[in-house]
Structure 1
Amino acid sequence: MAEVELKIVSDHRDGLLIALGEVLVANRFLLLRHRRMNTDAGVLMSLVVQGPEANLLSLEEQLGTHWMVKSLEAGPYDPNATAPLTPPPAPVASASLPPASAPSVPAQTQAVASAGNGGADKKRIEALLPQVARDYPQIFGAVMGLERNMEPTQREASMRYVGARVGAWVYKRDFALGARLPLSDSIKHIALPAMRQLLPTELEGETLSTGSSPFCGMERSTAPQCHFLRGFLEGSLNECGYLGMVRVSEVACRANGSDSCKFVFHV
């Protein structure tokens, strides 16, 4: 068993400990004690946790990519240490989108996301994108409102298009300074952490799966319904420009009765 001290900085105070506790429980870690203080960088929380050493890397990855976490520092817990609670180093600034701006439209994203039975309602989407940029990653209310008001013939193309726009923006904001990676590594190091900003997501080989997609609703459907997430994954991978034309298929969906929604990648 490993005992680790986690120092986490967040802009969110309400619900932070509960959200972090869910990640700890999912990785079979026990919270031994915690401290919290306000800093100029945000809320700083120190957690002393105990759990299986084999699960430590997964725990750190899930916390580091959690939408409520700005920065994370992890190290062995020393019960004799008396150092004051100080924030971890500030994360390196990445390309960001001004709050009132909308994500750009890369050519490959256009080509992938515009495919479908009907054309995307781009006028309505353009009006929504600044709000999505301001609210990210808490965007599902706005995105699902768009989907509910969309004409059925435009729904798939429109949701895939807006997803691709947001995914491309997230790539430029968080991942553009990284190394050129093959598709398998891009799925692990770009698509997976990008999805985890929105939903709990697991990687199974080269397939991403989530049991928490809000797009499945309560009604059964004969076709997969997570068009926004397909587009989001396509946008996050196609924006780099060196992988070719990545397409994402949803091969299982909770709307069809599956336990989780699963996404596979094609070039």
Structure 2
Amino acid sequence: MKKSVLSAIGAYYPKIADIVSQYEDSLPIERRVTALQELGRKVGGGIYQRDYSLGSPLKMPTTITRELVPALKGLSKVKAKNNVIYLIKCPFCKSSDHTHSGCHFIVGYIEGFLASNPAIDVVQVEETNCGAGSTNICEFTIG
């Protein structure tokens, strides 16, 4: 991963959808999913460390509503219900068709954010619905 991408994200956060998209476009198709998840993990983990690591760590599901949702609100309109996160007007797929991999950044972001919380053991995140080309509401399930 290029340090310049992380530097740009740090400089422009939370307005990073274009940076992530440009990074995605610079990668060979077969590397995009893995690389975007890796980038998301670094960014999500960094945001948790920067903004939420002081004080007592919150357990699930409290950390979703009190920490993860506010962290994601800078990127998109967000709703959460139990262990499902909804990004409304997702900036990572708004102009894409179904072949994009931008939402994999969000999968990694959520994983990295939650994995940085010492009160949470194992985190698995799956994009259960992508809104590209249709509703523009992306759904992520935390397991």
Question: Does TM, scored on the shorter chain, surpass 0.5?
Answer: yes
TM-score between the two structures when normalised by the length of structure 1: 0.50
Give the structure 2 partner of residue 168 of structure 1: 45
Gaps of 5+ in 1: 1-121
The aligned counterpart of 2:59 is: 182
Deviations 1:10-65 (A, max 9, x none): xxxxxxxxxxxxxxxxxxxxxxxxxxxxxxxxxxxxxxxxxxxxxxxxxxxxxxxx
Q: Tell me, in whole angstroms, the C-alpha distance in 2 between the residues paired with 1:219 and 1:145.
A: 13
Equivalent of 2:113, from 225, 236, 242? 236
Asked which structure has the greater RCO (Cα within 8 Å, sep 6+), the reply is 2
- Which has the higher Rg, Structure 1 or Structure 2? 1
CA separation of 1:213 and 1:224: change in aligned 2, threshold 3 A: same
Number of residue-to-residue matches in the alignment: 143
CA distance in 2, matches of 1:138, 1:219: 18
SS at match of 1:176: coil
**Mapping for residues 204-215 of structure 1, pairs under 5 Å:** 204-215=81-92
TM-fit CA distance, 1:251: 0.6
- Name whichever structure is richer in strand by fraction: 1
C-alpha displacement of 1:247: 1.4
Residues 249 and 264 in structure 1, CA contact (< 8 A), matched pair in contact too: yes
8 Å CA contact retained: 1:222, 1:256: no
Partner of 1:251: 128
> d(CA) in 2 for partners of 1:175 and 1:209?
21
- Counterpart CA distance in 2 for 1:136 and 1:222 is 25
- 1:138 match: 15
Counterpart secondary structure, 1:250:
strand
Secondary structure at 2:58's aligned position in 1?
Answer: coil
So what's the TM-score if we normalise by structure 2? Answer: 0.89
Structure 2 unmatched runs, 5+? none
SS at match of 1:221: coil
Structure number with higher helix proportion: 2
CA spacing shift, 1:138–1:218, aligned 2, 3 Å: closer
Give 1:158's match in structure 2, choosing from 35, 51, 57.
35
RMSD: 2.0
1:225 is displaced (CA, Å) by: 4.8
Indicate whether 1:265 and 2:142 are aligned.
yes
